[in-house]
A and B are shown apart, each in its own frame.
Chain A
Amino acid sequence: MKQFIIFIRKEFKHVFRDRKTLLMLFGLPIVQIVLFGFALTNEINNSKMVVLDYAHDKGSQELIAKLEASRYFEIEKNLLSDKQLEAAFREGKIKTAVIFPPNFYHDLMHTNKTQLQVIADGTDPNTATTLVNYIQTITGQYQQQVMGQTKLPYRIVPELRMLYNPELKGAYNYVPGVMALVLMLVCVMMTSISIVREKELGTMEILLVSPFKPLLVILSKAVPYLIVSLVNLAVILLLSVFALGLPVNGSVVLLVSVSTLYIITALSMGLLISTTTASQQTAMLLSLMGMLLPTMLFAGFMFPIENMPLPLQVISNIVPAKWYYIIVKRIMIKGLGFASVWKEVTILFVMTMLLLGISLKKFKIRLA
């Protein structure tokens, strides 16, 4: 036991003396959270818009005021002709345009029907769709406000509610994804590199010749990175709660326990990589190619898995990050308990046991 502590202390020294690694270890989660939380978001604020108002009546003025009051749009200018409109789109400075026909309000009041043209820059389909949806919503609200005064025989008003994420914040999607990504990256890469480094240096031989048990060598390699990862997890959670305003709705204890399991999954994967490689570069490359890419692709936070072709959907099942991502979303955002994640936890657990078993066996074979 004393030897074990001595070994772990040594591992921590390796971690803290390597400035670059240290920066990566603790900088990475912060950068990712900030990046995904603020920069890479689905919401669009202050999108540039132009208005071409042929009506100039009460209705058009009111609706323009409403559009301007929303945080989604920033009205560049009121244009006078179609020509100007085309030029504005070509310059690429605006994303949407709204055109009011003459007699907009008059028609609305007297024929109960009027038209409003919405033009969006389709080069970026996602943005265009989102913006058009915003405009439709705002128009709808205005319509209700106007119609409230008159009585209509039939009216269906869809009452929309976005469960768990009322404001449709992108962070709800990305934070669990970043957790899955960062923990995977740190654990797999760090453990595999640190074990392979001992092989490269020749210190592994010394350790194997010493009375220190091989299994303990592996364990003491894993413990520091487990602790570092838990610190990372805490940093991510604190950032998401206090900087992104994303609550942890479920049990924190459950979340941390599941994360620990996931960390162990990643550690065993790092161990597996280290048993199959002899150089640090190969280990790093394998970790990046073998872990980072599948995690990004198949965890489900960047590309929806349901949209993938069937073979890819099947492959996604063997990516641990996918299951962890599902679990974290349920616990953190939906606030569900163990009863609703036990299946995913079991899958993760079985994966971990398999990986750990294979890598320990391989490690022993190498010794023989």
Chain B
Amino acid sequence: MNPYVIKADKLTKQFGDFVATNQISFEVSKGEIFGFLGANGAGKTTAMRMLCGLLTPTSGTATVAGYDVYKQTEQIKRNIGYMSQKFSLYEDLTVIENIRFYGGIYGLPAKELKEESESLLEKLGLQDQSKKLVGSLPLGWKQKLSFSVAILHQPQVVFLDEPTGGVDPVVRRQFWDLIYDAAENGITIFVTTHYMDEAEYCNRVSIMVDGRIDALDTPGGLKTQFKAATMDEVFYQLARGAKRQAD
């Protein structure tokens, strides 16, 4: 039995001559918060897309939630959640309509969906706003709502692609509270970010440079390894060696 929720072994994706991700290997355990760092163009998005079943790898193996990324993309899709920096909610639909829509396309039964959406609204303190259009909500709330919607169907893993872009530190802190909450409930978190303070919140962090994973450890471990005081310095030391131009 595979003890890891995500397991990648020499996972590679090539577009013509360009090797977007080069033999990356790592494991993520259940309930872990795994930080996936790297400069723009380092290959994060490609790696994430392969794990989500959107891209077929060129070589290497990987399983997500126990399913193979080559053959079992349908099962993978059913067992993961996804949130991008664009919040991914429909602004012209109300809060409750968004929740019901996303719950609906994941095939949640009506009764369960009703209960789930009520408890979600309560948790976020949005009961009074449930009939408001999402477009009228402040950015921070949109983000929290977006995350809650991404884990509505109780996925095993949730992929967060730069989820806190453009919000203030207070809201970011609140957002991370939600992430910890989800991790405690056994949901594995796979998160990319550009904020190094957020990297400190992760259980383990990997840093990608030019398609390779050049470092992978706990934030503390990385700081010792690179003799750095902060994650910022660690990241800078690694990214400085990059040959690829950011896109």
Contact = CB atoms under 8 A, between A and B. Distances in A.
Interface in B61-87: 74, 77-78, 80, 82-87
A2 interface: yes
A18 B92 contact: yes
B218 interface: no
Question: Of residues A2, A203, A206, A367, which shows the largest number of chain B Cβ atoms within 10 Å of its Cβ?
Answer: A206
Contact of A368 (B56, B100, B105): B56
Contacts of B84: 202, 205-206
A17 B82 contact: no
Nearest to B74: A211
Contacts of B91: 201
Interface in B81-99: 82-93, 97
Interface in A194-225: 201-203, 205-212
Given A202-B84, A202-B88, A10 B107 contact: no
Contacts of B89: 203
B228 interface: no
A202 B92 contact: no
A205 B97 CA distance: 19
Nearest to A205: B84
Counting chain A residues whose Cβ lies within 8 A of the other chain, the interface size class is 20 to 34
Contacts of B180: none
Contacts of A2: 104, 107
Q: Which 7 A-B pairs have the closest CB atoms?
A: A202-B86, A6-B104, A209-B82, A206-B88, A212-B105, A211-B77, A17-B92
Interface of A: 2-3, 6-7, 10, 13-14, 17-18, 201-203, 205-212, 367-368
Interface of B: 52-56, 74, 77-78, 80, 82-93, 97, 100-102, 104-107, 150, 159
Given A201-B91, A209-B54, 10 more contacts: A3-B107, A10-B90, A10-B93, A10-B97, A202-B87, A203-B90, A206-B88, A209-B53, A210-B77, A367-B54
5 contacts: A3-B107, A13-B97, A203-B89, A206-B84, A209-B80
